[in-house]
Structure 1
Amino acid sequence: KDLKLMDEGNQTLTEFILLGLTERWELQPVLFAIFLLAYVATVGGNLGILAAILVEPKLHTPMYFFLGNLSMLDIGCVSVTVPPMLVRLLSQEQAVPFAACLSQLFFFHLFAGVDCFLLTAMAYDRFLAICHPLTYTTRMGPRVQAVLVGASWACSLGNALTHTVALSTLDFCGPNVVNHFYCDLPPLFHLACSSTRLNELLLFALGVIMAGAPMILIVTSYLQVAAAVLQIRSAEGQRKAFSTCSSHLAIVGIFYGAGIFSYMRLGSIEASDQSKGVGILNTVLSPMLNPLIYSLRNPDVQGALRGLLALSLA
């Protein structure tokens, strides 16, 4: 397709062409059906978790307060990426205005960044509950919960704004074809005409703050949790303690594994091709699996969901 330019003087692009997951048009209806079902399942599952937490008094605890926030973030994250992709699959229009691309990038990094810190807060919550049970209710009170969530949003907002503003200063003079199904930093760096060295340094430095530091805190928390659980003499007590932590660890592994793969391998077309699969894991499968992982391993959540289902059918 011909490049559309903002003006002939500085040759700035006004739109990008997103290639999507595949260029084979015969596969587009199949992909549309699969991702529409995945989107409905993700939103429905996370709304179910939210409803269960709201109606079940047993779930009015700090752990489920954070889980409810995580469910809202998952809905936001999948809504930023999947519906625009579905519209493009349906209309077969691949062009995305530059401003819309920047907006998608901003909101994706905003939600994903809050995810990083919320997962850390959930690890800290498990650490306090298992290692310091006598002071748990005072050290994880409503005010502390609110501060942790508010700080998560503030830090993530700063990170998302920094990347969006830094990207907007780059020159894009062609080509304008993005080898991905949503706008993200690595594939856009590949298209810039000006130097992306500062942007890549920012990505690395802020990545250490947004992902590296939380990951260290999560690992440290769970090492202490594991040591405390192993001192529990009751096998049933050990099983219950490990069960409450294993769901969270599974989510952490999926989220951070996909994020590290996506952002630590910049610059090559091959990396961009492989990042499409990782992008599906990070933006679609992870938000869809979160409610499944938590509900399948938690009898309280299962009971609340069964109650909601019975009410809806009554």
Structure 2
Amino acid sequence: MFLPVPASTPTPQPTGELIVDDLLKAGAGLTKGCENGGGVICSLMQSVLPPTWAPVIASAIAIMLVVVIALLLRNVANRLITRVVKRASSSNGSSIAGRLRGKQSVALEGLDAVAAERRRQRAETIGSVLRPVASIVILGTAALTVLERLSVPIAPLLTSVGIVGVAVGFGAQELVKDFIAGMFMLLEDQYGVGDVIDVGAAIGTVEAVTLRITRLRDIDGRVWYVRNGTITRVGNESQGWSRATVDVPVSYASDIPAVRALLKDVVEDMWNDTTYRDSVMVEEPQVWGIEQISDTAIVFRISAKTIPSRQAEVARELRIRIKSALDRASIPIAG
């Protein structure tokens, strides 16, 4: 006894009617946009196209307009941010500073150049943050508008996004902390590229600053990557001006007025040297007087205000000149 073999089920072939039905089903969400009044686009399409296709085409055109307008708004926002950043970075300061510019020394002009570079870096970094924020806001609003046009329920979607955001927030707390700390650091101009800073874990010259990390290079050449969120205090040795301090120990039996007069002559000669005056030193060096007294030495202290990060150079030159002057005057240096 043989059982009949079942015949294979024929595969349905797509027809023009099935394709049209699928397209109409895919556009079901779009047609709802023209059911309640519709608007100008729907009215125009209904007067030109068949009733079946008019709502679909009208809604598609409306979605395209939303996307185009969003892209245009993003472009305009980015241009405005770029213009504001350029204006902020190229600002020369107040009008009072401009009137006094002709009376400034070369050193102060150098400080102005450093401040202008810091201002440019800060403005460009803030601009690099504002551009993506503006893009996210504009494109996000456009995406929600398109979803609403497609009759996609937005409330559950926003709830899901909120839950995901909370989960990501818990997992990226340190990253968010770094970004917030970096933003305030830039806004407050705590330090910039080229500054010598002490952040506790490392001391060195700033080579790069981002919203997440600060890159330093110490005196031995090591590169340090410090997360902004871990920086609790910053010591900036390059902001505004620096001070060179030199201690001169002489024998306890030395003539104090003679030593003081000799040191004053040394600092005056260095101040009158065009290599340092108004280009490295901001003010004339001062002999502060006796800093320490012991049974073997009397220590005089000299101070010189310099442009940022040049204090070591001035201190070395002062020591050379003081040593030569003491040798000529036969004043021994205390051991």
Shorter-normalised TM range: under 0.3
- Relative to the length of structure 2, the TM-score reads 0.23
Of Structure 1 and Structure 2, the greater strand share is in 2
- Relative to the length of structure 1, the TM-score reads 0.24
Greater relative contact order, per chain length (Cα 8 Å cut-off, separation 6+): 1
Of Structure 1 and Structure 2, the greater helix share is in 1
Larger radius of gyration, structure 1 or 2?
Answer: 2
